[in-house]
Structure 1
Amino acid sequence: MNATAPRVLVIDDEVQIRRFLDIGLRAEGYQVILASTGQEGLGLAATRSPDVVILDIGLPDMEGHDVLRELRAWSEVPVLMLSVRDAESEKVKALDRGANDYVTKPFGIQELMARLRVLLRSGAKAGDAEASLRYDDGTLSIDIARREVCLDGQAVALTRKEFAVLSLLVRHPGRVVGQQQILRDVWGATHTQDTHYLRIVMGKLRQKLGDDPSSPRWLKTEPGVGYRFPAA
């Protein structure tokens, strides 16, 4: 297998679909990474840096829409959604949440390959922009694409939610990001009033980054409004 070949992450709980895609994609020269659950898929997306993701909506542990939302908190990797649900509302929901394309099962392998080629071309351009999403002030360094956070040269271990909140703020340097926007983007539209979730995560982030809440360097609070990360 060519080590420079595009990496495709397939997140689907159906064994037959995974086998079908594995064989078809490898025959076309792709590297293939397989996951059967949403949590496994998110972990592989973070550690294996796929060039494109094929994501099933109906997963055993979480909805594909929720996987997409968490993925979009820190990555712009192209995502092609798969589903037996062919209603227009399902397609609109997926595209509104950040999917790049949508294919209804059953599907033809050649159509899927053509759609993947389009996504990979657009993903190459997006990847250039994503690679620049870094912050480094000599003390704190953040690489969103690699999901790496270091403080004084030492890696900082963050939970998925902590990293999602931090990366959302870093993506908008110098700008106040509202509490409801953070809750909607990280926890989902049904949690926009659950500000205690956000307070807990922000407290953990400040603790791990050594950011004094009374005089914060990075995680600045705009009372009653939201939070702001400084421009580099």
Structure 2
Amino acid sequence: MNEQLVMIVDDEASIRDIVRRYLEADGYKVVEAADGQEALQRFGARAADVVILDVMMPDMDGVEVLRRIRAISDVYVIMLTAKAEELDRLVGLAVGADDYITKPFSPRELVARVKAVLRRPRSPATASSAGTLRVAGLEVDRDRHEVRVDGEPVELTALEFNLVSVLAGSPGVVFTRRQLLERIWGYDFFGDERVVDVHVRNLRRKLADDVARPRFITTVRRVGYKMGGGR
């Protein structure tokens, strides 16, 4: 019996019902929440392994729910979003969502994405994940899961830590977006490659890295990113 718990957060009972039935048929345990407040209460009572979270909900939207979850947990989160909600989707990814799927969606595809995120490592997929990496004033302590810039600690999400760890582990090496997706999100990632750009942008902001004169992360046009700037 699969002991992994999936929380479905959506104000539409019909969506919760069909997703629950497909997940339970695949052996997952399921808990439902009809709004953000109920989701936070249920999550606090028992942390889920994956949260399927709708963006558009009354009172508290999915992005705010995600912010509050991220303050206490690195649980995998898949956002449900309408195609017209591009900005909301990107904001959700920046806050720390792992994946997204647009409505209307195939329940089978959603179950496949749940399986995919659960196979995804929360630590960087590098040859050696131990020790401290140093690039300019950036320190990435893989043992303690800490990042410092000029000696000052920087708070990152798990995905952001994995991203900076992979880049700092090979200074000067250019990684394509697809390579970063495979190393960090996993080989079976379904979504848009632009998710990498969103997380790089958020990471740069936290590292106080100037895009015009990068100290740490450099954009290689039409290719991807590398660690090592021009200062």
Normalising by structure 2, report the TM-score: 0.52
Residues 166-189 of structure 1: CA deviation (Å, up to 9, x unaligned): xxxxx97998679xx9xxxxxxxx
Give the equivalent residue in structure 2 for 1:76: 74
Which has the higher mean CA deviation after the structures are superposed, 82-91 or 69-78? 82-91
Residue of structure 1 equivalent to 2:27: 29
C-alpha distance in structure 2 between counterparts of 1:89 and 1:59, whole Å: 15
Question: Where is the helix percentage greater, Structure 1 or Structure 2?
Answer: 1
5+ long unaligned stretches in structure 1: 128-170, 182-232
Corresponding letter in the other structure for 2:122: A
The CA deviation at 1:60 is: 1.8
Distance change >3 Å, CA 98–CA 173, structure 1 → 2: closer
State the 1:86 CA deviation. 3.7
Q: Is the 8 A contact 1:86 1:104 kept in 2?
A: no
Counterparts of 1:23 and 1:177 in 2: how far apart (Å)?
44
Match of 1:8 in 2: 6
Which residue matches 2:122? 126
Q: Does residue 52 of the first structure (1) align with residue 58 of the second (2)?
A: no
Q: Secondary structure at the match of 1:93?
A: helix
Q: 1:109-139, CA deviations, whole angstroms, 9 ceiling, x for partnerless residues?
A: 12111111111112xx439xxxxxxxxxxxx
CA deviations over 1:192-211 (Å, ceiling 9, x no partner): xxxxxxxxxxxxxxxxxxxx
Supply the AA of the counterpart residue of 1:31: K
Aligned letter for 2:113? R
The residue type paired with residue 50 of structure 1 is A
State the Cα distance separating 1:61 from its structure 2 match. Answer: 2.0
Alignment coverage as a number of residue pairs = 134
Contact 2:78–2:98 (Cα < 8 Å) also in 1:
yes
Q: Distance in 2 between matches of 1:112 and 1:68?
A: 18
Q: Whole-Å Cα distance in 2 between the matches of residues 11 and 115 of structure 1? A: 16
What TM-score do you get using the length of structure 1 for normalisation? 0.52
CA contact 1:14–1:36 (8 Å) conserved in 2: yes
| Residues 97/13 of structure 1: CA separation in 2 closer, same or farther (3 Å cut) | same
Q: Displacement of 1:104 after TM fit?
A: 0.8
Say if 1:173 and 1:97 are closer, same or farther in 2 by CA, change over 3 A.
closer
